[in-house]
């Protein structure tokens, strides 16, 4: 973390939890976030967005959608528009999560379309980027990340458009094998430098989150990295005690640090 940027601790619930779980998890996050020094956000499954909006409304926990479509409306069965997310109380939307890219065929052009739609609807996109293990092992990490970042940045219309970026190496997601803080530092440095090429001021304020097997034991190590501005958490965010601990984590006092 850096003194200029408040870390964001975000929980991506993916396709998990009942309505009652969603309420309980959101209530725990609100309680943990009350006087925490980090910002917090949760990304519930679509059907629970309204329920969770009622819980987190007026609190320090922001709401986000896990994806959106690039079109405003139309015959896109099962898709959700950015405007719908906005009207449900969302502030954020994930764009190009690796599971959307790998399992649902979202390519860079599609992801860029969702990012543009998010901005036009008034949402803050969280552009997710990350290399596969094969891309890392063949020395292509930097080129993959910059390609994905460039596709998203092309949709930015001006300095006032909000943006968060999440670096989530595919090989670290759900595997229990997190990147090292040094690996995150390298990747985040590349990403921030790329943002600086088009907008130096934005590069100083854009939050770049690390995601991939983050837990209460390792989050403190990531928050120590100057270019890491928080975390995007999957599995460990489904445990309210763990997520609460991570919302309250700091580089100095992180649980287990
Ligand atoms: P895990 O924390 O389960 O590795 O998931 C990370 C992720 O994909 C968050 O979006």
Domain assignment of residue 3, yes or no: no
Ligand 1, from 9, 13, 14: best to mutate by most atoms within 8 Å of Cβ? 14
pLDDT beyond 80 at 34: yes
Domain assignment of residue 18, yes or no: yes
Under a CB-based contact definition with an 8 Å cutoff, are residues 90 and 123 in contact? yes
Domain assignment of residue 28, yes or no: yes
Q: Is 170 in the pocket of ligand 1 (CB under 6 A)?
A: no
Q: Is 67 in the pocket of ligand 1 (CB under 6 A)?
A: no
pLDDT beyond 50 at 254: no
pLDDT beyond 70 at 253: no
Of these residues, 97, 131, 155, 183, which one is catalytic?
Answer: 97
Under a CB-based contact definition with an 8 Å cutoff, are residues 92 and 126 in contact? yes
Domain assignment of residue 71, yes or no: yes
Q: Is 173 in the pocket of ligand 1 (CB under 6 A)?
A: yes
Which residues constitute the domain of residue 45? 8-247
Secondary structure, 3-state, the chain: CCCCCCCEEEEECCCCCCHHHHHHHHHHHHHHHCCCCCEEEEECCHHHHHHHHHHHCCCCEEEEECCCECCCCCCCCCCCEHHHHHHCCCCEEEECCHHHHHHCCCCHHHHHHHHHHHHHHCCEEEEEECCCHHHHHCCCHHHHHHHHHHHHHCCCCCCCCCCEEEECCHHHCCCCCCCCHHHHHHHHHHHHHHHHHHCHHHHHHCEEEEECCCCCCCHHHHHCCCCCCEEEECHHHHCHHHHHHHHCCCCCCCCCC
Q: Is 174 in the pocket of ligand 1 (CB under 6 A)?
A: yes
* 27 in catalytic set: no
Q: Where does the pLDDT of residue 2 fall: very low under 50, low under 70, confident under 90, or very high at 90 and above?
A: confident
Number of C-beta neighbours around residue 105 at 10 A: 8
| Atom in ligand 1 nearest the alpha carbon of residue 213 | 4
More confident residue, 255 or 160: 160
Domain assignment of residue 106, yes or no: yes
Q: Is 233 in the pocket of ligand 1 (CB under 6 A)?
A: yes
Q: What is the pLDDT of residues 221-241, one digit of tens each?
A: 999 999 999 999 999 999 999
Nearest CA to ligand 1 atom 5: 234
Domain assignment of residue 254, yes or no: no
Q: Is 220 in the pocket of ligand 1 (CB under 6 A)?
A: no
CA of 170 to the centre of ligand 1 (A): 9
Q: How far apart are CA 66 and CA 69, in angstroms?
A: 11
Percent of the chain whose pLDDT exceeds 90: 96
Ligand 1, from 173, 175, 236: best to mutate by most atoms within 8 Å of Cβ? 173
pLDDT beyond 80 at 147: yes
pLDDT beyond 90 at 255: no
Q: Is 178 in the pocket of ligand 1 (CB under 6 A)?
A: no
Q: How far apart are CA 235 and CA 243, in angstroms?
A: 10
- State how far Cα 54 lies from the chain centre: 21
pLDDT of residue 26: 98
pLDDT beyond 60 at 58: yes
Q: Where does the pLDDT of residue 104 fall: very low under 50, low under 70, confident under 90, or very high at 90 and above?
A: very high
pLDDT of residue 223: 97
Domain assignment of residue 115, yes or no: yes
* 188 in catalytic set: no
Domain assignment of residue 257, yes or no: no
CATH number, domain of 111, equals: 3.20.20.70
Structurally, the chain folds into a number of domains equal to: 1
Q: Where does the pLDDT of residue 252 fall: very low under 50, low under 70, confident under 90, or very high at 90 and above?
A: low
Average pLDDT, the chain: 96
CA of 89 to the centre of ligand 1 (A): 23
Under a CB-based contact definition with an 8 Å cutoff, are residues 73 and 121 in contact? no
């Amino acid at each position: 973390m850096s003194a200029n940027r408040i870390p964001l601790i975000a929980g991506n619930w993916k396709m998990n939890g009942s309505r009652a779980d969603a309420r309980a998890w959101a209530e725990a996050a609100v309680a943990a976030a009350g006087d925490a020094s980090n910002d917090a956000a949760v990304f519930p499954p679509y059907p629970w967005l309204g329920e969770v909006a009622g819980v987190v409304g007026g609190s320090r926990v922001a709401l986000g959608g896990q994806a959106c479509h690039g079109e405003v409306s139309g015959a896109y069965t099962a898709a959700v528009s950015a405007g719908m997310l906005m009207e449900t109380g969302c502030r954020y939307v994930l764009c190009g999560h690796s599971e959307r890219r790998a399992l649902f065929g979202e390519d860079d052009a599609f992801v860029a379309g969702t990012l543009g739609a998010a901005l036009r609807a008034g949402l803050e996109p969280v552009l997710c980027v990350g290399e596969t293990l094969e891309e890392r092992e063949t020395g292509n990490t930097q080129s993959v990340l910059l390609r994905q970042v460039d596709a998203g940045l092309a949709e930015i219309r001006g300095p006032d458009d909000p943006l968060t970026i999440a670096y989530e190496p595919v090989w670290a997601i759900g595997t229990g094998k997190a990147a090292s803080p040094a690996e995150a530092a390298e990747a985040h440095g590349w990403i921030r430098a790329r943002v600086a090429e088009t907008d130096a001021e934005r590069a100083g304020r854009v939050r770049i989150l690390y995601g991939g097997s983050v837990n209460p034991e390792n989050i403190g190590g990531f928050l120590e990295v100057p270019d890491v501005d928080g975390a995007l958490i999957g599995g460990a965010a489904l445990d309210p005690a763990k997520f609460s601990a991570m919302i309250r984590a700091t580089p100095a006092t992180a649980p287990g640090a």
